[in-house]
Amino acid sequence: MNNILKNRLISLPLFAYLVLSLLSCNSEGSDPVNVEETEVIPEDIVEMRDDQIRLANIETGPVEFRSLNATLKVSGIVTVAPQNRATVCAPLGGFIEKVSLLPGQAVKKGQILTIIENQEFIDIQQLYLEARNRYEYAEAEFNRHSELFKSDVYSEKNMEQVTADYKALKAQVKAFEQKLALIGIDPAGLHEDDISRTVAIVSPINGYIKTVDVNLGKYVTPTDVLFEIVNSDKLLLELTLFEKDADKVATGQKIRFFINNETEQHTAIICQTGKTVGNDKTYKVYADVTAECKNVLPGMYVNALIDAAGAKVASLPSDAIVSFGDKDYIFVFERNKEEGGNPFTEYRMVEIQKGISDDGFTEIILPEDLEITSVRIVIKGAYNLLSAKKNAGEMAC
């Protein structure tokens, strides 16, 4: 009885083991339960069928290397070249006897601006005529004694004295001629009966009167400015740029500028760039105004746009770049695949940095892990892909 019970107790664990083994075998041999697998698409991937690609008008292309022009916005003033601006003074001063010009009035080169009266004019003319008469006599004496000296009739010592007197008078006459020319009197036309106490101050250039600082009876000194004259036929722009933009401008570049908030556009060509930088870290650029601008006058402030040429940079059509969440992105071709017998294409959304834009293209800076020479970029239809990304299910699968 005890043996029978003992055998039963031993057989129970064995029976349980056999049952579990059988169940395990049956399980391995039975059909698996069908579980539907769902593909998880990454956040940066947009998936589209061929018909959706055609509908969205999507095209891909490579990154292009282009020379893009950056537009610099600068300010400055309208001015003229030094040779087209004149400051008129009276070399010996005097009293203003006649003046009739007003600021803004046009004048011609050589036109009389004012008449000045001064007693020194009389003295200079008198001294010149006296010196000239002595010089003429000394010249005749010099010629006569030269002939006598050649004939050994005149001594060398006397000849030297005559020569010294002649040269001294000649120098004196030349000096007086320069003084007369300085005050505006022609020495060649001056005679004893033509001595005058007045001289005419004339315009040295064509232009218009900018300032007038004289009136009848006023005494002026040689350092007083009587008139300022500006020739506005050839205007110049003086523009101020920051030193960081020094490499973006060069002689010959075109400038578009505006004055007084006007919409009318004027043009100029850079003729000179600064060679030094000021204490405020700026430097000057000068440009010739290329056409006549009747409403542009020296002294006016201008706002200018400079098309600065740059080196070749990686660029894409501006439409290939989309903005989302205050960031800029492009779509790149990821791969072609097939699901359920249907072809699909995956595009990956990549964040980039934008640079300058010009003529429909924009400079881009790609992530370091993206091979710029082989990557294919969505150049058309990028915004349709962005819409598919934001509205999953409408265009994307």
CB-based burial of residue 227 (10 Å sphere; 0-12 exposed, 13-18 middle, 19+ buried)?
buried
Higher confidence at residue 134 or residue 33?
A: 134
Please state the domain count of the chain.
Answer: 3
| CA 300 – CA 266 distance, rounded (Å) | 13
pLDDT bin (cut points 50, 70, 90) of residue 387 is confident
Residues 207 and 235 reside in one and the same domain: no
Q: What is the CATH number of the domain that holds 377?
A: 2.40.420.20
Task: Identify which of 268, 397, 309, 275 has the alpha carbon closest to the alpha carbon of residue 345.
Answer: 397
- Which pLDDT value is given to residue 377? 92
Residues 264 and 349 reside in one and the same domain: no
Residues 110 and 213 reside in one and the same domain: yes
Task: Identify which of 205, 252, 234, 210 has the alpha carbon closest to the alpha carbon of residue 79.
Answer: 234
- Which pLDDT value is given to residue 283? 87
- For 200-253, write each residue's pLDDT tens digit: 999 999 999 999 999 999 999 999 999 999 988 888 999 998 887 777 788 888
When mean pLDDT is compared across 55-64, 257-266, 280-289, 343-352, the lowest value belongs to 257-266
Residues 245 and 320 reside in one and the same domain: no
Residues 159 and 220 reside in one and the same domain: yes
**Would you state the structure tokens that stand for residue 26, as one six-digit string?**
């049956």
Q: Is residue 34 part of a domain?
A: no
Residues 304 and 353 reside in one and the same domain: no
- For 277-309, write each residue's pLDDT tens digit: 888 888 899 999 988 777 788 888 999 888 766
- Whether the pLDDT of residue 23 is over 80: the answer is no
| CA 382 – CA 349 distance, rounded (Å) | 10
Residues 358 and 321 reside in one and the same domain: yes
**Would you state the structure tokens that stand for residue 207, as one six-digit string?**
């232009």
- Entry pTM: 0.57
Task: Identify which of 204, 214, 207, 226 has the alpha carbon closest to the alpha carbon of residue 104.
Answer: 207
- Please identify, among 311, 338, 370, the residue that sits at the C-terminal boundary of a domain: 311
| CA 282 – CA 280 distance, rounded (Å) | 6
Domain range for 306 is 71-82+230-311
- Please identify, among 290, 311, 332, the residue that sits at the C-terminal boundary of a domain: 311
Greatest mean pLDDT range, 3-17, 68-82, 299-313: 68-82
Average pLDDT along the chain = 82
Q: What is the CATH number of the domain that holds 147?
A: 2.40.50.100
Alpha helices by DSSP H, the chain: 2-29, 50-55, 119-150, 156-183, 382-390
Residues 284 and 216 reside in one and the same domain: no
| CA 284 – CA 310 distance, rounded (Å) | 20
**Would you state the structure tokens that stand for residue 291, as one six-digit string?**
């056409």
Q: Is residue 12 part of a domain?
A: no
Residues 204 and 301 reside in one and the same domain: no
Residues 115 and 188 reside in one and the same domain: yes
What amino acid is encoded at 48 in this protein? Answer: M
Residue showing tokens 């043009």: 267
Residues 250 and 325 reside in one and the same domain: no
Residues 318 and 204 reside in one and the same domain: no
| CA 384 – CA 48 distance, rounded (Å) | 11
Question: What are the residues whose beta carbons fall under 8 Å from the beta carbon of 153, sequence distance 6 or more?
Answer: none
